[in-house]
A and B are shown apart, each in its own frame.
Chain A
Amino acid sequence: MTVLIVIDQAPYGRWSGREGLDMAFSLAAFDQSCALLFSGAGVNWLRTGQQPDGLGQKSVARNLGAAAIFGVEALYADAQACHRYSLEGDAIINGVTLIAPDQAFMTGFEKVTFAG
């Protein structure tokens, strides 16, 4: 019965990712099982050492830090996209499970939703 929310847009440039995160937090707040998948340029959400101060925005990685507290069950990332964006080793925040977003993975979820 888990809902998978997919974030496939790079952070900061648009608000759809933050609003996707809000969807995940809302599901969790209403005791619905949910998880997040970062794919494409969206994997940049998971980069350590983000310095968004110059933009006047809060770090999306810090927002993500609240995911477990809110009850989001898992953070997944497309391993191939992480490789493409050099997100390996210390460059990626803790608590992320690298996966291949293939049919076998996706069919494990009741619903798959994009934030926009």
Chain B
Amino acid sequence: MTDISLQTYTLVITGAPYSSQAPQTALDFARAAVAAGHQINRVFLYGDGVHIASVLICPPSDEPHWPRLWSDFLAEHQIPAVACVSSALRRGLIDKAEQQRYELSAHNIRAPFEIAGLGEWVEAGTCSKIIYFHSGA
């Protein structure tokens, strides 16, 4: 295998867990990249991908828990992860601030995910390679 220089990546996930393979493929890529010494500076959830950041997802115990696996990976490697605010609000992904703003009955964002605007994605494009993980539909 040829030696490749170390890169900084931003991952964008637009496919939802359990209805697409995008979160799994992205996690496999992220693990391999980190293991090879590359840096992942941010994970950005967009469109249906925001469902990964729900703390309420409860798959059967014999199935992979993609939100938890993602959270554990992000925490272990201290990688910031952001769900796009407009995608998140459309799909019922809410943090404390949005709960208060819209006077909702609950919030459900899973640590260490945060909710932020598309500006984070724009900024990422200026300083890293962005790789997109789509649903394929």
Query: Which A residues are within 8 Å of any B CB, using their own CB?
Result: 3, 15-16, 19, 22-23, 26-27, 30, 32, 111, 113-116
Q: Check if B14 sits within 8 Å of A116, measured CB to CB.
A: yes
Contacts of B121 in A (CB 8 A): 23, 26
Q: Do residues B130 and A111 form an inter-chain contact, with CB atoms below 8 A?
A: yes
The residues of A that contact B126 with a CB separation of less than 8 Å are: 32
Question: Are the C-beta atoms of A26 and B134 separated by less than 8 Å?
Answer: no
A-side binding surface: helix, strand, loop or mixed? mixed
Total A-B residue contacts, Cβ distance less than 8 Å: 44
Q: Which residues of A contact B87 (CB under 8 A)?
A: 19
Q: Which 8 A-B pairs have the closest CB atoms?
A: A116-B14, A26-B118, A30-B122, A116-B47, A116-B134, A19-B47, A26-B122, A27-B122
Interface size on B, residues (CB 8 A): 21
Q: Is the interface of B mostly helix, strand, loop or mixed?
A: helix
By a CB distance below 8 angstroms, the chain A residues around B86 are 19, 22
Q: Do A115 and B122 touch (CB < 8 A)?
A: no
Q: Is A116 a contact of B118 with CB atoms below 8 Å?
A: no
Residue of B nearest to A116 (CB): B14
Assembled-state Cα–Cα distance A111/B130 (Å): 9
Question: Does B18 have its Cβ within 8 Å of any Cβ on chain A?
Answer: no
Bound-complex Cα distance A113 to B121 (A)? 12
Task: List B contacts of A15 (CB < 8 A).
Answer: 47, 90
Complex interface bits, B118-135 against A, C-beta within 8 A gives 1, otherwise 0:
110111011000101011
Chain B residue at smallest Cβ distance from A3: B125
Bound-state CA distance A19–B86 (Å) is 9
CB-CB under 8 A for A30 and B135, given A111-B130, A115-B47, A116-B46: no
| Most chain A CB inside 10 Å of its own CB: which residue of B87, B117, B122 | B122
Kindly provide the distance from the CB of A53 to the nearest chain B CB, expressed in whole angstroms.
21
